[in-house]
Structure 1
Amino acid sequence: MHAASHELLLLPGFMLDQTLWDDMRDGLSQLGRLHFGDLGQDDSIAAMATRVQQHAPPRFVLIGFSMGGYVAQEIMRQAPQRVIALALLNTSARGQSAEEIARNQAQIELAGRMPFKGLTRRTLASSVHPGRADDQALLDRIQAMALRNGKQVFIRQLSAVRSDGYAALHKIQCPTLIVASRNDQLRSVEEAEQMAERIADASLVVVENCGHMTPLEQPVQLLQILSDWLISQK
C-alpha cells in the first residue's frame, strides 16, 4: 500500500488538541488523509478509545501522543483488526501509582472550586526541554490548547486512570513505531524501551535535544521519522 493512501488517526495528549500537529500538518497530509480523535468528552481511557473508534474510518494508521498513546493501546485491545500500523509517541504502558492517582484527585477537587486559568507555569516548563523552559512562544501554544479545552476537560482527563498495560503489549501484531525524546521529563526512554521489547514488530527511535512536546519542539524531525516509517510499510 502506498503511504499516501493511508488514513491517519492522530490522538493528542493531556489538555492538548489537534493544533498539536499544526507544524507537521502539511507533511502529514502528504502521507494520508488526517483524522483527529477527541479525547475531551470522557473520563476513562476505555471510553475515550470507544469514542475515537466511533468517529474513525474502518481501518487506519493510529498515532498516539502521550495520553493519546494510552488510548491507542486501549484501541489495540478493543479492535486490533482496525489498526494497520501503530505509532506511540512520548508515551508509556506504565500504570499510575496510588500516589499519582491521589494527587490527581486533589487537583480535581481544587479545580472544581476554582476558576480554570490553564496549566501552571511549572507544569508547562516540565513538558518541554529544560533549555526551552523560558521559551514563552512555545509555552503559550501549549497553554492556549489547555485553555481551549477548559475546566471540564481538565477534570475528565485527570479522572482517567492509566492502568498498567505492559502485559498486553505482546498481543500487538501490527508494525509499531515507538518514539521517545532524550530530554523528556514526563516519559523516559527506558519506558519506551520496555514497550519496544514487548511488541514483536516494533522499532524505537530516540529524538535528541527534545523534551516531551516532540510535535512542537522537533516537528521536522518527527515528521521525517513518521514518514520514513510509513513509507517502509508494505
Structure 2
Amino acid sequence: MSLVLIPGYMADASLWDDMAEALAPAGPIHHASLAHDDTILAMAQRLLAEAPARFVLVGFSMGGYVAREAARLAPERVRGLVLIATSSRSDSRKQAVAKRLAIEGVEAGHFGGLSRAAAAASVHPDRAGDAALIERIRAMGQRLGREAFLRQSRLERVGDADRLGALGCPTLVIAAGRDRLRSIAESEELRDGIPGATMAVVADAGHMLPLEAPDALAAHILAWIGDLPP
C-alpha cells in the first residue's frame, strides 16, 4: 500500500523525516507539496496528478483540508484518510486578521521564514524554548520561500463540515493534547462528521505532532493501517 504524506502550512517533506523509518513497513511513501498552488482545490488536483493509482492519504493541519478534497475528487483511489491536528472549520476572524498582518509584513520587508514566536506557538508549551525544534520549523518556511508564504497565507480555508458525511473511506483522526492551534473539539467534529471515523489523541504533544511525537504518531497510523480491509 502507498502512503501520500501531505504537510501543513509552510511545511515541507522534511516534516515527516523522523517517521520515515517507522512508516516504511506500510509501503512506499510519496510526498505531496503545497508550495505551488493558491487554493485547496488546486493543491488536491496536483496531488492526484502526481500520486500512485491507490493510496492512503495522511494530511497534517492544512494538509487535512487538501486530503479531504482529494478524497472527494477521486474516492475510488483513496483507501483511507489519516487527518492529523486539523479541522473542518473555516478560518476564524482572529486567524484571518493574523494572516493579513503577516502578509502585510512580508510585502513591506524581508521574508525570513515564520517568526520564532509563531513557531513557538505551534508546539507544546514546555517546548517553546527548544531552540533546535523552533529552528527546524522555521527552516521549512525559509526553504519554501516568500512566494509560497504569500500564496499559503492568502489561501482561504473554507469549512467543509457540511460535506464530511460524503466521505466514504476509512478515516483516522489524530489530535494533540496540548495543541494551541487546533482544539480537541475540532478533531471530535471531524470524527463525528465522517461516517465510521475513529480518533486517537497524543496527549503530551503540541500542534507539530510529526516533529514532537513522531514515534507515537507513527504507531497510531501503523496500527490503524493494519486494520484496513484488503
Q: Give the TM-score band, short-chain normalised.
A: over 0.9
SS at match of 1:85: strand
Describe the SS at the equivalent of 2:42: helix
Residue type at the aligned position of 2:197 = A
SS in 2 for 1:125: helix
TM-score for the superposition, normalised by structure 1: 0.95
Q: Counterpart of 1:224 in structure 2: which amino acid?
A: A
Q: Whole-Å Cα distance in 1 between the matches of residues 67 and 73 of structure 2?
A: 10
Code of the residue aligned with 2:138 in structure 1: it is Q
Query: What is the identity, as a one-letter code, of the residue corresponding to 2:113?
Result: G
**Matched AA of 1:89:** I
Which of 12, 29, 53 aligns to 1:17? It is 12
> Secondary structure of 2:153's match?
helix
Matches within 5 A, 1:154-173: 154-173=149-168
Return 5+ residue gaps in structure 2 as ranges.
none
1:211 to 186, 206, 215: 206
- In structure 1, how many angstroms separate the alpha carbons of the residues matched to 2:155 and 2:30? 23
Instruction: String of CA shifts for 1:54-96, please: whole Å, max 9, x gaps.
Output: 1011111000000100111111222222110000000001001
* Correspondent of 1:80 among 66, 75, 80: 75
What are the equivalent positions in structure 2 for 1:136-151 lying under 5 Å apart?
A: 136-151=131-146
Instruction: Name the SS of the counterpart of 1:161 in structure 2.
Output: coil
Amino acid at match of 1:182: G
Following TM superposition, by how much is the alpha carbon of 1:98 offset from its aligned partner in structure 2, in angstroms?
4.4
Other-structure match for 1:3: none
Equivalent residue number for residue 64 of structure 1: 59
Corresponding residue pairs, total: 229
The residue aligned with 1:115 is 110
- Superposed CA deviations along residues 165-203 of structure 1, whole A, max 9, x for unmatched, are 101001111110000011000001100001101111211
Could you list the per-position Cα deviations for residues 97-142 of structure 1 after superposition, in whole angstroms to 9, with x for gaps in the alignment? 3453344233223212211111112101111000000011111111
SS in 1 for 2:28: strand
- Give me the identity figure in percent: 44
- What residue is the counterpart of 1:129 in the other structure? 124
Distance (Å, rounded) in 2 between the aligned partners of 1:21 and 1:220: 11
Structure 1 stretches lacking a partner, 5+ long: 1-5
TM-score (norm 2): 0.96
Distance, in Å, in 2 between the alignment partners of 1:34 and 1:102 is 36
